[in-house]
Amino acid sequence: MKILWDFRLYSYGYAARGVGIYTQRMCEAILKHDPGLEIAVWANKRVVPRFMHEWNVHWIPYTKGSWRSDLITIPGLMRKHAIDIVTFWVVLGPIWHIGLGLFHPCKVICVIHDMGVELWDAAAQNLSLRKSWYWKTQKLLASQSDHIVCNSCTTKKDLRTCLPAYRRGIQVLYPPMPAYLNRSVRRERFFLALGGQAHKNLQRVIEAFALFRDRHADYRLVVCGEVQTSIIIPRRAQPQIVFESMERYELYLSTCRAFIFCSLYEGLGLPPVEALASGCPVIAGDIPVLHETLHDGAVYVNPESVDHIAQGMHTVADVANVWQDKATIAGRLYKEQTAHTAQHWCSLYQSLGGRK
């Protein structure tokens, strides 16, 4: 049985984002669990993470093209390389170039990360995308798959809303817990947050930090990643807010007093899971998907209330050791929750068998 992993996503900017990290962890866990799997990877090797070059797989070169031309390429690719099962690691996402092949002899597994374009992402480009022929085609092709893997129960629920007629298997598989070794006993007086798109809610986090400093003037806020130009920083908080690249993200995660993740919506939300792996307390937006992964290991706040986010910061600052213990316990729960993820993937491949 020969399995194709579609890694075109790395050619379109997903390598350092949640989808890319999810895919790396899943695939690495699968290969460790069953090194004997016959895997072909369709990718541009120059853009995939370097450690992937060491994988014992058959590499099929990929050159950027339009999603329309890829739809024509995919069936021929399956026949040429005698593929039995293909895993599309990105389905129903906003990238125009990633489509699905409908007319080919393989079984198909689709991985769906969120339904933001359809349900909750109001960005202008997504509003037009919802009405496009591309999006309608993506939903049609996804509905023809043999099995769908969702990254959370929240995504599965949203998928049922968007594809109510889909009657085949849908499975939730969370990514494995990352192995962080840099666990600090003493954490420094600063919070860590991430930049990113508007739904990451950085503006309210910054405003909440300005309120928090009225009682804790010795704290800093470190923001890693891209920051939107529309972000406004209150004057009284400016000296204590530091902007950094993602290169130092893991270092800050291992030493900060708490990680702030007050997103308005997520398909999964990998950064808080990474915080648990580092034994780091989390101040999290009170949205369903974060309860799935963080359990009782986070201080949940209303992500739309600046005052409530600030109160979450006070809660952690006042009893930091308590929340560090809670984060450690929640991390163990998540690790148990995902202990058999790779085994479930391999069982799924075996259950689908060979060609149609």
Rounded CA separation 107/41 (Å): 16
Rounded CA separation 211/40 (Å): 53
Q: List the structure tokens of 157.
A: 């629920």
With a cut of 80, say whether residue 252 has pLDDT above it: yes
Could you say which architecture CATH assigns to the domain 2-176+339-352? 3-Layer(aba) Sandwich (3.40)
* Residue 148: predicted pLDDT: 96
* Residue 71: predicted pLDDT: 82
148-157, 222-231, 259-268: range with lowest mean pLDDT: 222-231
Q: In what order do the strands lie in the sheet with 190-194?
A: 241-244, 220-224, 190-194, 258-261, 282-285, 298-301
* Residue 134: predicted pLDDT: 85
With a cut of 80, say whether residue 125 has pLDDT above it: no
Closest to 175 (Cα-Cα) out of 148, 152, 200 = 152
Mean of the per-residue pLDDT values of the chain: 90
If you average pLDDT over residues 211-225, what whole number do you get? Answer: 94
* Residue 140: predicted pLDDT: 87
Q: What is the pLDDT of residues 67-85, one digit of tens each?
A: 888 888 888 888 899 999 9
Q: What is the pLDDT of residues 320-346, one digit of tens each?
A: 889 999 999 999 999 999 999 999 999
Per-residue pLDDT band at 230 (split at 50, 70, 90): confident
DSSP state of 178: P
* Residue 70: predicted pLDDT: 86
Q: What is the pLDDT of residues 131-147, one digit of tens each?
A: 888 888 888 888 989 99
Q: List the structure tokens of 142.
A: 């996804």
Q: What is the pLDDT of residues 278-294, one digit of tens each?
A: 899 999 999 999 999 99
* CATH class name, domain 190-337: alpha beta
Question: Crossing angle, helix 320-337 and helix 270-277, to 10 degrees?
Answer: 110
Per-residue pLDDT band at 103 (split at 50, 70, 90): low
Looking at the chain, the domain(s) classified CATH 3.40.50.2000 span 2-176+339-352, 190-337
* Residue 195: predicted pLDDT: 92
Cβ neighbours, 10 Å, residue 144: 14
**What's at 105, amino acid-wise?**
P
Question: Under DSSP, is residue 79 helix (H, G, I), strand (E, B) or coil?
Answer: helix
With a cut of 80, say whether residue 5 has pLDDT above it: yes
Closest to 233 (Cα-Cα) out of 195, 187, 285 = 195
* Residue 291: predicted pLDDT: 96
